[in-house]
Amino acid sequence: MTVPARSADLAAQPLAHALALHAQCYTDPAMVAVDRRWIFDRGWQLVAHVCQLRAPGDHAIADLGGLPVIAVRGADGVVRVMHNVCRHRAGPLAQCDGLGAKSLRCRYHGWTYTLDGQLRTATEMAGAADFDVGDIRLPQLAVRVWQGMVFAAVDAAMAPPFEAFVAGIDARIGEDRALDTYGHHHRVGYDIACNWKVYVDNYLEGYHVPHVHPELNRLLDYRSYVTETAEWYSFQFSPLESGEGLYGSGDALYYWLWPNTMLNILPGRLQTNRIIPKGVDRCRVEFDFYYAPDDSDAGRARRDADLAFSDVVQDEDIGICEDVQRGLASGSYTAGRLNPLRENAVHHFHELLRRVYRDAAFPPVS
């Protein structure tokens, strides 16, 4: 498995002189396996929110860059994330989220596992020699629950230490936004004809907002839009003036966490995006909306307005991302200059990617 780009295309670049990531990294089918092994398996990925896993047996499924997983709260109260792949012949244990399961039963032939992933019964297997259900468990991932969100890593030894991954975010969010008390309201998924990195790139800059999102542009103060980068994440910040019918006024905080998680934090609302690769020129974006508890009619109306408005912005982003994927694949383009003022977070993402791809192409000799 190799990265197809030349080493010169993967060299680190100072912001003021930076080019975007080489087009081949978005279009070469060989990159799918590279991204899975070197990025997704070695990163912290968002699986669920604790409000989906309040009681034993509550579970939520997710796709971690091609690995199906299931998050389950066990009888002992511990949240585990396990492969959602039966050890018999790879059937799924769960196909949707659910509440209060007593066990995990494979849909294919009915093998049944305990909530902590131990095989308990295997139907009609008495004739199988040297077969002991006690030997069979679902593989588990490393798990961290932070700000009410459940993150998991396939290869925790190669992932950043979790504390470094989120360092500084708690202080910025502040204690008055208790994201772990929010409730799950709604999920929307979008299938998009672009590489997952195109979608992330687009998220990481407000440069396109005046051109692609005229309505959103009216709510945000583009001139005071600030983008900062940290080691493993970047965030965009803008004062927000939207009137009481939508978000009210306050801070809008938009975090991107390596490699594919976004946290959009507005007054009383958390919305997460997960960008799931589905091939070199396909991805699925899942939006989950969570809100501070509020049963009033006004609260309900605000949530409906939020969903409708988010859909408009997302349609605009999908259109431009699919156009960009066509441009990247056209043969007309390799890499253009980045805007140091407006695209510093894109540069930060591309530097992280180039570092990974250098390691993948030319692994350090040990």
The residues that touch ligand FES, with contacts defined as CB under 6 A, are 86, 88-91, 106, 108-111
Which lies closer to ligand FES via its Cβ, residue 124 or residue 175?
Answer: 124
Which two three-digit tokens encode residue 365?
């000799």
Q: Taking CB within 5 to 8 Å according to partner kind, which of Fe ion, ligand FES, none is near residue 317?
A: Fe ion
Nearest distance from residue 223's CB to Fe ion, in Å?
18
Nearest distance from residue 12's CB to Fe ion, in Å?
27
| From candidates 41, 63, 306, 317, binder to Fe ion by CB under 5 A | 317
CA distances from 345 to 72, 73, 205, 257, 341 (A): 34, 36, 7, 11, 10
Which lies closer to ligand FES via its Cβ, residue 88 or residue 282?
Answer: 88
Nearest distance from residue 206's CB to Fe ion, in Å?
8
Residue 308's SS3 state is: helix
Tokens 């007054």 -> residue = 267
Q: Which residues pair with 63 in a beta bridge?
A: 68
Q: Taking CB within 5 to 8 Å according to partner kind, which of ligand FES, Fe ion, none is near residue 106?
A: ligand FES
Nearest distance from residue 73's CB to ligand FES, in Å?
22
Q: Taking CB within 5 to 8 Å according to partner kind, which of Fe ion, ligand FES, none is near residue 160?
A: none
CB atoms within 10 A of CB 232: 21
Which lies closer to ligand FES via its Cβ, residue 103 or residue 310?
Answer: 103
Residue 143's SS3 state is: strand
Q: Taking CB within 5 to 8 Å according to partner kind, which of ligand FES, Fe ion, none is near residue 308?
A: none
Which lies closer to ligand FES via its Cβ, residue 112 or residue 314?
Answer: 112
User: Left if phi > 0, otherwise alpha if psi is -120 to 50, otherwise beta: which for 11?
Assistant: beta
Q: Is the CB of residue 39 less than 8 Å from the CB of residue 259?
A: yes
Q: Taking CB within 5 to 8 Å according to partner kind, which of ligand FES, Fe ion, none is near residue 337?
A: none
Stretch that binds Fe ion, among 59-67, 76-84, 219-227, 309-317 (CB under 5 A): 309-317
Q: Find the residue with minimal CB distance to Fe ion.
A: 317
User: Left if phi > 0, otherwise alpha if psi is -120 to 50, otherwise beta: which for 351?
Assistant: alpha
Nearest distance from residue 24's CB to Fe ion, in Å?
24
Which two three-digit tokens encode residue 248?
């009210």
The Cα–Cα gap between 108 and 106 comes to 6
Q: Taking CB within 5 to 8 Å according to partner kind, which of Fe ion, ligand FES, none is near residue 108?
A: ligand FES
Q: Taking CB within 5 to 8 Å according to partner kind, which of ligand FES, Fe ion, none is near residue 187?
A: none
Residue type, 290: Y
Q: Angle 270-271-275 (CA atoms, 0-180°, nearest 5)?
A: 145
Which lies closer to ligand FES via its Cβ, residue 94 or residue 275?
Answer: 94
The Cα–Cα gap between 356 and 10 comes to 9
